[in-house]
Amino acid sequence: MRIRSIAIAVFATLTAALSLTAQTKPAAVKTPRIYVFENGFIRGLDTKLFNLAREEVKEPDFVNTSYLIVHPRGTLQFDSGGIPDSQFKGDGALVVEGVQSADKPLIPQLAAAGYKPSDITYFALSHYHSDHTGNANAFAAATWITQKAERDFMFGEKPEGIIQPATYRALRGAKTRILNNEDFDVFGDGTVRVISAPGHTPGHQVLLVRLAKRGSVLLAGDLYHYPEERAKGILPTFEFNGDQSRASRAKVEALLKQTGAELWIEHDMATHARLPKSPAYLE
């Protein structure tokens, strides 16, 4: 009798533990979703860095964003903001680092959407510039999707320029899917594709997502910063390789035409203003 009641107690505990596990795991989705995270602003930039006079640009300041793609077969975090979450004190105060400022950290936004960093299957950066790598270390348990040229630069002997190696140090030991200037179908069904678009940096890449209701969306990283760069065919002053940038822009423009995708310039205030922010999502 005693053994039986112990057995029942053990069974009840196990069942409770299992259902708790089930509850904390995010619910599966039927079609892809995009969550848009807000990672602050970049203000006071000199538009001349982008080969544009101040009066040629409607909005000189940047918004900073990152995205979570949720797919029936897993998740992909694309970019990670600029200011590491460790810099926030939890009081809602604005954190300022040079030209960057933000009033909320990234991981709590991920949590509000229902995900922890340990739930994330894949992590990808558009590129290594420090306004995109702020919380890269948090995703080192995911499989990192990177172009070889980008990874080689990031972990090279002297990574120089707009770079903060400490923010992505943990990626060095991450499980990594290395691409050689190639595109990659992340979940194998063509709905989420990493597109190689080098030039801004050696292994810059963009993300093409096909949503069931909204249609296709292209997360452009820093292929462009201002819409005026696109309209006027102008490259920033600090491209790693301008010829590659021009070729990548031509490739992406052809892809936009072919798929009818919306172009989301990651730093563009006007694009960002039109989008629902996480925990709302697009599908």
Which amino acid is it at 177?
A: R
* Smallest distance, Zn ion to C-beta of residue 38, A: 15
Q: Which is nearer to Zn ion, 45 or 95 (CB)?
A: 45
Number of shown-chain residues binding Zn ion (CB under 5 A): 2
CB of 196 to Zn ion, least distance (A): 18
Spell 159-175 as b/e; 16+ CB within 10 A means b: eeeebbeebbeebeebe
- 119: which 2 tokens? 């739930």
Q: How far is the CB of 236 from Zn ion (least distance, A)?
A: 10
Q: Which stretch binds Zn ion (CB under 5 A): 18-26, 103-111, 218-226, 248-256?
A: 218-226
Q: Which two tokens stand for residue 177?
A: 């899917």
Give dist(CA 5, CA 143) in Å, integer. 45
Rank residues 74 and 165 by Cβ distance to Zn ion and give the closer one: 165
Closer residue to Zn ion (CB): 99 or 247: 99
What's the burial of 11, exposed, middle or buried (CB within 10 Å: 0-12/13-18/19+)?
exposed
- Residue 71 or 204: the one with the smaller Cβ distance to Zn ion is 204
Within 240-279, which residues bind Zn ion (CB under 5 A)? none
Specify the length of the chain in residues. 283
Q: How far is the CB of 154 from Zn ion (least distance, A)?
A: 15
Pick between residue 64 and residue 191 the one whose CB is nearest to Zn ion: 64
Backbone angles phi, psi at 7, to 5 degrees: -60, -40
Alpha carbon distances (Å) from 163 to 47, 61, 130, 155:
20, 20, 5, 11
CB of 267 to Zn ion, least distance (A): 6
Residue type, 123: F
Phi, psi of 218 (to 5 degrees): -110, 115
Shortest Cβ distance from residue 283 to Zn ion (Å)?
26
222 binds Zn ion (CB under 5 A): yes
Q: How far is the CB of 132 from Zn ion (least distance, A)?
A: 6
Stretch 75-134 residues interacting with Zn ion (CB under 5 A): 131
Pairing of strands 95-97, 262-264: unpaired
Residue nearer to Zn ion on the CB measure, 38 or 222: 222
Residue 101 forms beta bridges with which residues? 41, 96
Strands annotated E in 3-104: 33-42, 62-71, 74-78, 95-97, 100-102
Residues 123-182 that bind Zn ion (CB under 5 A): 131
Segment near Zn ion (CB under 5 A); pick from 24-32, 48-56, 198-206, 220-228: 220-228
Which of 50/187 has CB closer to Zn ion? 50
- Closest Cα to residue 248, out of 202, 192, 211, 180? 202
CB of 69 to Zn ion, least distance (A): 19
- Nearer to Zn ion (CB atom), residue 35 or residue 224: 224
Amino acid 6 reads I
Q: Is 283 helix (H, G, I), strand (E, B) or coil?
A: coil
Residue numbers of the site for Zn ion (CB under 5 A)?
A: 131, 222
